[in-house]
């Protein structure tokens, strides 16, 4: 396989200053005339011009208007003997492509009769020959020509400068983007669309036109996206002093899209899933996802577009930073401290279940990778979420104001450039010369170069005679593929201490200079493999609260007894660690039960995985009127099966499922009176609002209903399933409706079937709701081992379509990635199904196929008989001769 290496980076041999593109859009054959002004890079003499191209038909190449000699060599158009004029030369290339055959959805494609593009990372080369790399930045002028009736709306980046009629019922529009940009930010859209529009005046007095384009029937689902865009613009002005730099900012939705959305300059293209939302069709989660993805793409306008990546190894430069920004935006929008903490917990949960697993598996790679075969495989949770944690640690080390200064310096230095992760870290450090970040910068940057999650071991020791308390930390990172030896990381640990009764203690840290002023919290900065910190004037052995707010992406090991965890669960003033104490405790109990190996205990009618004391603690949480519902809901959620698997060296997914289910049933039974009270107390009758507070109340009520239906499945009680069915029928919003349906389906109640049928009937014309219908069934409990069969049946459903990524994800991925007990079968049939689908998708859409391929990343940790079945399925995929390089890279790495 051909491997691209970071150390081989060379600046481009040529620059392309301007690009003038003219498209004659037709689905079966689109003509593209590309006129470029090209100039040799004086720093790279003598080399020929090698332009990238893929799936193109080349008709003509002219240099300064004359026919030129060229060669086509493995996808490259090679031009030598070019004019040696310092002012450069004109290069004109005429090609055609076939958008309606483009099932890969990269480059120019057709979705429901509308043209869209997706160019990141390397899709522009499927539109025309080009230096398709992010460090080549050009000014684009784009003319679109198409049939007026079929394609009334013609959009591209920047400003509309001209439009008019052409012969034969055709028309044209000419767009000019004043900002230099890399080719991956190019976009065009042409089709029958309508727009919600809003004129706004920014703080600096500039006027802007905002537009959200959708298919005609969807206009009433665009209000929330528009509001989210307006909020994003205001937030970036306030928090970072960054203004919208365009007269017009457009969002366009398509239902065929490989990912969530794309930040093309001034013309963001979105998956409908992250634009369309109204209360009848979208859940609270959908509403909050729309807000955060609209924010994310908007924030890229500065962090990604104004300053872009020098090469794709620097991807986290824009993605990690922009995720950090969208996380902060969502937290600021959520409002209260408690709502902020809920968002933080959700983000950390994703990081720990998915990213930590990636960092411990065959695809482990640094936040700034050293090599790749297919760059699309590196749009990962490591680049995005761990990258965001690295930015967050910088933020912690320099403080809020210092971070803002650092970002300003970054723009002062690099606006308009294509730069590296080093440039970003340097700017933040240089703006804060007295900070720990500046002092430890070379070590800190190991976060960019080393893969793997650091494990931190904390031991506390109280010296009664000296009245001191010493925390000793060691840290260790396990080897990852290609990186056997690891260096210590810089780890900011926010720490507080509590008395045995849960009173916060004042911290007096002893340092070489003496005792530091008392504070309720300290940020200790680890940078060595072994370090100790001593606090003075601590009369009795305290309970430490370490890694508050999850101040670093590490695994913390500390031997806190159940009593200490209980104290933190009840009293920690940091809501994250309060939640974490409950999770640690639950995890300990569940892992002990999994290890005990006696399945009969959990199969018994009254399972006892959880001791009374733990249940009591959760009961207090449910009864506490001071707590926000969303926080209570998170406290009452046991660690997921995936997260538990992550803690084990040998994984028996069936055993994990049994034990967690048993614990869940126990919570349902033991807390039944509380669940009922919670349900009664959270019946909002007012108008639907998707804000964090109301969403939290619905989430907690849903958990109560879920638990009560689970319990009813054991007792045979008909009341709660009846209430669930009623709620399902009468709900005034999709959140309540889907939650009620989920409760019935997961309880395996006979009413689930008629409810599912009715749901389909009601929403058969709503693609995003049908996705939910498929997804719910694919992730439903595997009653009697029939889960796989159900999924296979649904594959035959008239509404299933493997070519639509959202639909494929909602059925296939929901089964392989979110239903471990149904997927991991003793007969290996789940893995065979997975292999079949990877192979089928590989022929349609390699990027989606490669995502699915990753479902077996952790196969080596599986217990027998799962493991050998998984290996057989992987080997069957590997043996395919027409495997895309996307899928091949994933499968080969898994089998190493
Ligand atoms: N930058 C795009 C992702 C492109 C993925 C290409 N395979 C969306 C985002 O991160 O905002
Ligand atoms: Zn992004």
- Contacts of 340-346 with CB under 8 Å at 24 or more apart are 341/575, 341/576, 341/579, 341/631, 342/575, 342/628, 342/630, 342/631, 342/634, 342/692, 342/696, 343/692, 344/549, 344/550, 344/576, 345/575, 345/576, 345/579, 345/634, 346/634
Please identify which of the residues 54, 263, 291, 297 carries the catalytic annotation: 297
Last residue of a domain, one of 503, 530, 559: 559
Give the phi and the psi of residue 328 in degrees, each rounded to 5.
-65, -40
- Residue 877 CA to ligand 1 center (angstroms) comes to 27
Residue 568 has pLDDT above 70, yes or no: yes
Give 379-444 as a DSSP string.
-SHIIIIIHHHHHHHHHHHHHHHHHHHHHHHHHHHHTT-EE-HHHHHHHHHHT-TTSHHHHTHHHH
Domain assignment present for residue 506? The answer is: yes
Ligand 1, atom 4: closest residue by C-alpha? 120
In angstroms, the CA 90 to CA 804 distance is 40
- Do both 542 and 579 map to the same domain? no
Domain assignment present for residue 406? The answer is: yes
Nearest ligand by distance to the CA of 322 = 2
- Residue 297 CA to ligand 1 center (angstroms) comes to 9
Per the structure, the complete domain to which residue 549 belongs is given by 455-559
Residue 604 has pLDDT above 80, yes or no: no
Assembly ipTM: 0.99
Ligand 1, atom 10: closest residue by C-alpha? 319
- Do both 17 and 139 map to the same domain? yes
- Residue 318 CA to ligand 2 center (angstroms) comes to 7
pLDDT of residue 246: 96
User: Which whole number is the average pLDDT over 82-100?
Assistant: 95
Ligand 1, atom 2: closest residue by C-alpha? 262
Nearest ligand by distance to the CA of 262 = 1
Q: Which of 112, 95, 90, 115 lies closest to 25 in space, CA to CA?
A: 115
The structural domain count of the chain equals: 4
Domain assignment present for residue 790? The answer is: yes
pLDDT of residue 894: 98
**Best residue for ligand 1 mutational test, from 105, 119, 185, 259 (most atoms within 8 Å of Cβ):** 259
User: Which whole number is the average pLDDT over 363-385?
Assistant: 98
- Do both 461 and 404 map to the same domain? no
pLDDT of residue 525: 98
Residue 687 has pLDDT above 80, yes or no: yes
pLDDT of residue 358: 98
Write the CA distances from 884 to 254, 733, 817, integer angstroms.
25, 42, 22
Please say whether the beta carbons of 522 and 536 come within 8 A: no
- Residue 891 CA to ligand 1 center (angstroms) comes to 22
- Do both 532 and 666 map to the same domain? no
Q: Which of 514, 584, 513, 512 lies closest to 543 in space, CA to CA?
A: 584
- Residue 120 CA to ligand 1 center (angstroms) comes to 7
In angstroms, the CA 214 to CA 221 distance is 9
Ligand 1, atom 8: closest residue by C-alpha? 262
Tokens 């879920």 found at? 706
User: Which whole number is the average pLDDT over 603-632?
Assistant: 89
**How would residue 783 be classed by pLDDT, with cut points 50, 70 and 90?**
confident
- Residue 262 CA to ligand 1 center (angstroms) comes to 5
- Do both 488 and 627 map to the same domain? no
- Residue 300 CA to ligand 2 center (angstroms) comes to 7
User: Is 297 marked active-site?
Assistant: yes
Q: What is the pLDDT of residues 470-521, one digit of tens each?
A: 999 999 999 999 999 999 999 999 999 999 999 999 999 998 889 999 999 9
CATH code at 489? 2.60.40.1840
- Do both 582 and 483 map to the same domain? no
Q: What is the pLDDT of residues 839-890, one digit of tens each?
A: 999 999 999 999 999 999 999 999 999 999 999 999 999 999 999 999 999 9
- Residue 612 CA to ligand 1 center (angstroms) comes to 47
Q: 3-state DSSP helix/strand/coil percent for the chain, to nearest 5?
A: 45, 20, 30
User: Which whole number is the average pLDDT over 453-471?
Assistant: 98
**How would residue 203 be classed by pLDDT, with cut points 50, 70 and 90?**
confident
Pocket of ligand 1 (CB under 6 A): 120-121, 259, 261-263, 296-297, 300, 319, 376, 379
Residue 597 has pLDDT above 80, yes or no: no
Residue 125 has pLDDT above 90, yes or no: yes
Give 584-626 as a DSSP string.
HHHHHHHHHHHHH--HHHHHSSS--SS-HHHHHHHHHHHH-TT
Nearest ligand by distance to the CA of 121 = 1
Residue 603 has pLDDT above 70, yes or no: no
Q: Which of 546, 459, 539 lies closest to 499 in space, CA to CA?
A: 539
Residue 659 has pLDDT above 80, yes or no: yes
Helix pair 692-715, 337-350: axis angle to 10 deg: 60
- Do both 358 and 433 map to the same domain? yes
> Which atom belonging to ligand 1 lies closest to the Cα atom of 261?
8
Domain assignment present for residue 411? The answer is: yes
**How would residue 607 be classed by pLDDT, with cut points 50, 70 and 90?**
low
Question: Of residues 327 and 511, which shows the higher confidence score?
Answer: 327
Give the phi and the psi of residue 305 in degrees, each rounded to 5.
-95, -55
In angstroms, the CA 39 to CA 547 distance is 53
- Do both 462 and 444 map to the same domain? no
Residue 600 has pLDDT above 60, yes or no: no
Backbone dihedral region for residue 687 (phi beyond 0: left; psi -120 to 50: alpha; all else: beta)? beta
Residue 599 has pLDDT above 70, yes or no: no
Q: Output the 3-class SS for 559-577.
A: CCCHHHHHHHHHHCCCHHH
Residue 45 has pLDDT above 80, yes or no: no
Helix (H) or strand (E) holding 663: helix 653-670
Q: What angle do CA 151, 154, 159 make, to 5 degrees?
A: 170
Q: What is the pLDDT of residues 135-189, one digit of tens each?
A: 999 999 999 999 999 999 999 999 999 999 999 999 999 999 999 999 999 999 9
Backbone dihedral region for residue 619 (phi beyond 0: left; psi -120 to 50: alpha; all else: beta)? alpha
| Percentage, residues of the chain above pLDDT 90 | 96
**Best residue for ligand 1 mutational test, from 232, 257, 292, 319 (most atoms within 8 Å of Cβ):** 319
Ligand 1, atom 3: closest residue by C-alpha? 262
Q: Which of 554, 529, 238 lies closest to 393 in space, CA to CA?
A: 554
Other CB atoms within 10 Å distance of the CB of residue 234: 13
Please say whether the beta carbons of 385 and 355 come within 8 A: yes
Average pLDDT, the chain: 97
| DSSP symbol at 274 | G
**How would residue 84 be classed by pLDDT, with cut points 50, 70 and 90?**
confident
Domain assignment present for residue 335? The answer is: yes
Ligand 1, atom 1: closest residue by C-alpha? 262
Ligand 1, atom 7: closest residue by C-alpha? 376
pLDDT of residue 684: 77
**Sequence-separated (6 or more) residues with CB below 8 Å from residue 888:** 1, 373, 878
Last residue of a domain, one of 136, 157, 192: 192
Please say whether the beta carbons of 863 and 652 come within 8 A: yes
Domain assignment present for residue 213? The answer is: no
> Which atom belonging to ligand 1 lies closest to the Cα atom of 319?
10
Give the tokens for residue 154. Answer: 């013609």
H helices of 431-543, in order, are 436-439, 441-444, 446-449
Ligand 1, atom 9: closest residue by C-alpha? 262
Collapsed DSSP state (helix, strand, coil) of residue 838: helix
Last residue of a domain, one of 192, 213, 238: 192
- Do both 414 and 517 map to the same domain? no
| DSSP symbol at 843 | T
User: Which whole number is the average pLDDT over 320-327?
Assistant: 99
pTM for this prediction: 0.98
Residue 47 has pLDDT above 80, yes or no: yes
- Do both 47 and 183 map to the same domain? yes
What's the alpha-carbon Rg for the chain, to the nearest Å? 28
Domain assignment present for residue 514? The answer is: yes
**Best residue for ligand 1 mutational test, from 105, 118, 120, 318 (most atoms within 8 Å of Cβ):** 120
**Sequence-separated (6 or more) residues with CB below 8 Å from residue 755:** 725, 728, 740, 741, 744, 745
> Which atom belonging to ligand 1 lies closest to the Cα atom of 304?
1
- Do both 439 and 503 map to the same domain? no
Q: Count Cβ neighbours within 10 Å for each residue of 404-442 and write b for 16 or more, e otherwise.
A: bbbbebbbeebeeebbbbebbbbbbbbbbeebbbbbbbe
pLDDT of residue 598: 56
CATH code at 381? 1.10.390.10
Q: What is the pLDDT of residues 698-715, one digit of tens each?
A: 999 999 999 999 999 999
**Best residue for ligand 1 mutational test, from 257, 262, 308 (most atoms within 8 Å of Cβ):** 262
Collapsed DSSP state (helix, strand, coil) of residue 171: strand
Q: What is the pLDDT of residues 412-434, one digit of tens each?
A: 999 999 999 999 999 999 999 99
Other CB atoms within 10 Å distance of the CB of residue 724: 28
Write the CA distances from 832 to 271, 325, 413, 653, 859, integer angstroms.
30, 41, 53, 17, 14
pLDDT of residue 46: 82
Domain assignment present for residue 584? The answer is: yes
> Which atom belonging to ligand 1 lies closest to the Cα atom of 263?
11
- Do both 322 and 460 map to the same domain? no
* Side-chain-facing half-sphere of 699: CA atoms under 13 Å: 21
Question: Of residues 541 and 205, which shows the higher confidence score?
Answer: 541
């Amino acid at each position: 396989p051909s491997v691209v290496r970071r150390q081989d980076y060379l600046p481009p041999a040529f620059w392309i200053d301007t690009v003038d593109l003219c498209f004659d859009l037709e689905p079966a054959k689109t003509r593209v005339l590309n006129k470029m002004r090209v100039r040799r890079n004086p720093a790279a003499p003598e080399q020929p011009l090698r332009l990238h191209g893929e799936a193109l038909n080349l008709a003509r190449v002219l240099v300064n208007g004359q026919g030129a000699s060229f060669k086509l060599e493995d996808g490259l158009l090679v031009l030598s003997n070019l004019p040696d004029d310092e002012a450069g030369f004109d290069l004109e290339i005429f090609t055609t492509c076939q958008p309606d055959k483009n099932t890969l959805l990269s480059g120019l494609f057709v979705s429901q009769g509308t043209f869209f593009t997706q160019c990141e990372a390397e899709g522009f080369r499927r539109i025309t020959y080009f230096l398709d790399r992010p460090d080549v930045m050009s000014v684009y002028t784009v003319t679109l020509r198409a049939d007026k009736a079929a394609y009334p709306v013609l959009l591209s980046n920047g400003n509309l400068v001209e439009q008019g009629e052409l012969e034969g019922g055709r028309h044209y529009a000419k767009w000019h983007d004043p900002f230099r940009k890399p080719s991956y930010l190019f976009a065009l859209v042409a089709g029958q669309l309508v727009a919600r529009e809003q004129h706004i005046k920014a703080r600096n007095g500039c006027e802007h036109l905002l537009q959200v384009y959708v298919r005609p029937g969807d206009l009433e689902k665009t209000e929330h996206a528009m509001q989210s865009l307006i909020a994003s613009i205001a937030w970036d002005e306030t928090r970072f002093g960054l203004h919208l730099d365009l007269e017009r900012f457009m969002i366009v939705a398509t239902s065929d899209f490989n990912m969530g959305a794309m930040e093309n300059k001034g013309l963001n293209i979105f998956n409908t899933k992250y634009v369309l939302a109204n209360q009848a069709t979208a859940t609270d989660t959908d509403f909050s996802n729309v807000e955060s993805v609209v924010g994310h793409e908007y924030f890229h306008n500065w962090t990604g577009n104004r300053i872009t990546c020098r090469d794709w190894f620097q991807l986290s430069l824009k993605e990690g930073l922009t995720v950090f920004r969208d996380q902060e935006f969502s937290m600021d929008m959520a409002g209260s401290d408690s709502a902020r903490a809920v968002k933080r917990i959700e983000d950390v949960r994703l990081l720990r279940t998915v990213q930590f697993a990636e960092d411990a598996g065959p695809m482990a790679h640094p936040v700034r990778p050293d090599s790749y075969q297919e760059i699309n495989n590196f749009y990962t949770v490591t680049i995005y979420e761990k990258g965001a944690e690295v930015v967050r640690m910088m933020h912690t080390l320099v403080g809020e104001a210092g971070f803002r200064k650092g970002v300003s310096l970054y723009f002062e230095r690099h606006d308009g450039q294509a730069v590296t992760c080093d440039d970003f870290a340097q700017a933040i450090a240089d703006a804060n010369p007295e900070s720990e970040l500046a002092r430890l910068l070379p070590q800190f940057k190991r976060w960019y170069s080393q893969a793997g999650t650091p494990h931190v071991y904390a031991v506390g020791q109280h010296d009664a005679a000296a009245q001191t308390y010493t925390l000793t930390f060691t840290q260790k990172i396990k080897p990852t593929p290609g990186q056997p030896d690891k260096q210590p990381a810089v780890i900011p640990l926010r720490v507080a201490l509590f008395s045995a009764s849960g009173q916060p203690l004042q911290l007096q840290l002893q340092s070489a200079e003496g005792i530091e002023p008392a504070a309720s919290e300290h940020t200790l900065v680890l940078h060595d493999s072994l370090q100790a910190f001593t606090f003075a004037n601590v009369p009795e052995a305290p309970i430490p609260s370490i890694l508050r707010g999850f101040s670093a992406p590490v695994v913390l090991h500390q031997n806190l007894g159940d009593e200490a965890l209980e104290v933190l669960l009840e009293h920690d003033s940091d809501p994250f660690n309060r939640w974490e104490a409950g999770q640690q405790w639950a995890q300990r109990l569940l892992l002990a039960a999994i290890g005990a190996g006696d399945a009969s205990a959990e199969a018994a009618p009254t399972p006892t995985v959880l001791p009374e004391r733990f249940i009591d603690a959760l009961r207090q949480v449910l009864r506490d009127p001071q707590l926000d519902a969303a926080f209570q809901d998170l406290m009452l959620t046991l660690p997921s099966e995936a997260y538990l698997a992550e803690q084990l060296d040998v994984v028996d997914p069936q055993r994990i499922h049994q034990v967690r289910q048993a614990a869940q049933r126990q919570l349902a039974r033991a807390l039944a009176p509380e669940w009922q009270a919670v349900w009664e107390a959270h019946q909002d009758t007012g108008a639907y609002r998707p804000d964090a507070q109301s969403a939290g109340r619905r989430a907690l009520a849903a958990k109560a209903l879920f638990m009560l239906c689970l319990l009813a499945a054991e007792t045979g009680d008909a009341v709660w399933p009846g209430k669930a069915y009623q709620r399902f029928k009468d709900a005034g919003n999709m959140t309540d409706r889907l939650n009620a349906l989920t409760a019935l389906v997961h309880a395996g109640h006979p009413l689930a079937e008629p409810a599912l049928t009715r749901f389909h009937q009601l929403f058969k014309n709503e693609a995003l709701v049908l996705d939910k219908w498929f997804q719910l069934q694919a992730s439903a409990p595997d009653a009697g081992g029939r889960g796989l069969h159900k999924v296979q049946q649904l594959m035959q459903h008239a509404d299933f379509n493997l070519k639509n990524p959202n639909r494929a994800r909602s059925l296939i991925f929901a089964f392989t990635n979110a239903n471990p007990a149904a997927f991991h079968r003793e007969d290996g049939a789940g893995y065979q199904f997975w292999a079949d689908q990877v192979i089928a998708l590989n022929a349609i859409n390699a990027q989606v196929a490669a995502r699915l391929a990753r479902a077996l990343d952790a196969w080596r940790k599986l217990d027998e008989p799962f493991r050998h079945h998984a290996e057989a399925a992987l080997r069957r995929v590997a043996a395919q001769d027409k495997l895309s390089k996307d899928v091949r890279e994933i499968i080969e790495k898994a089998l190493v």
